[in-house]
Amino acid sequence: MYNIAILASGSGSNAENIIRYFKEHATIRVAEVLTNKSDAYVLERAAKLHVPARVFNKEEFTSPSFSERLIREGITHVVLAGFLWLVPQHLIAAFPDRIVNIHPALLPKFGGKGMYGGKVHESVVAAGEKETGITIHLVNEEYDKGIHLLQASCTVVADDTADTVAAKVHDLEYEHFPRTIENWIIQTQS
């Protein structure tokens, strides 16, 4: 059995989609949801779907005991789904090539520190891009620099706003993120 911990900072619509996708899965399950925000809506989604969830603070996150606890709990893979903090070295060392993130743009474009959520889509529109999309990638010490597992794109047209681009990107995320996680886990199970 492979046990995923999802880390999310906000609404958690991707987290919910991933939880639902793996609900009846034979070998992969979402074991817990972790968030750095006590009022994140992802907590309500997790409760509704009967997935254990807890809130952590910066001190807990930066301490190696955070990784040790995940390992004790049997977590094998970590999924960042709208998670905004830089992942500490101890977590990367505890889960080498076992942490995946989704970025709502076609990296290396519109990536890096400060490029998250609506800011990404505003920048895409302001730059007059003709397309944007998603990048699902492994996580290393630097923001948005790990190996790409998948990119998928959508068009950006003249009438698009940051909100309409966000909606298109979310659709791509819902379509591709769970399946990419599944393929990644299955391929790396050795």
**Of the listed 25, 77, 90, 103, which one is catalytic?**
103
Among 30, 53, 104, 160, binds ligand GRF (CB under 6 A): 104
Q: Is 82 in the site for ligand GRF (CB under 6 A)?
A: yes
Of all helices (H) and strands (E), which one includes residue 42? helix 42-48
CB of 72 to ligand GRF, least distance (A): 27
What span, in angstroms and rounded, lies between the C-alpha atoms of 189 and 64? Answer: 24
| CA-closest candidate to residue 98, choices 77, 81, 114 | 77
Phi, psi of 58 (to 5 degrees): -60, -40
Stretch that binds ligand GRF, among 46-54, 60-68, 90-98, 167-175 (CB under 6 A): 167-175
User: Toward ligand GRF, which CB reaches closer, 95 or 143?
Assistant: 143
Residues 6+ apart with CB under 8 A from 158: none
| CA-closest candidate to residue 70, choices 82, 52, 58 | 52
Q: Is 14 in the site for ligand GRF (CB under 6 A)?
A: yes
Q: Which residues form the catalytic set?
A: 103
Chain residues binding ligand GRF by CB under 6 A are 8, 10-15, 81-82, 102, 104, 116-117, 169-170, 173
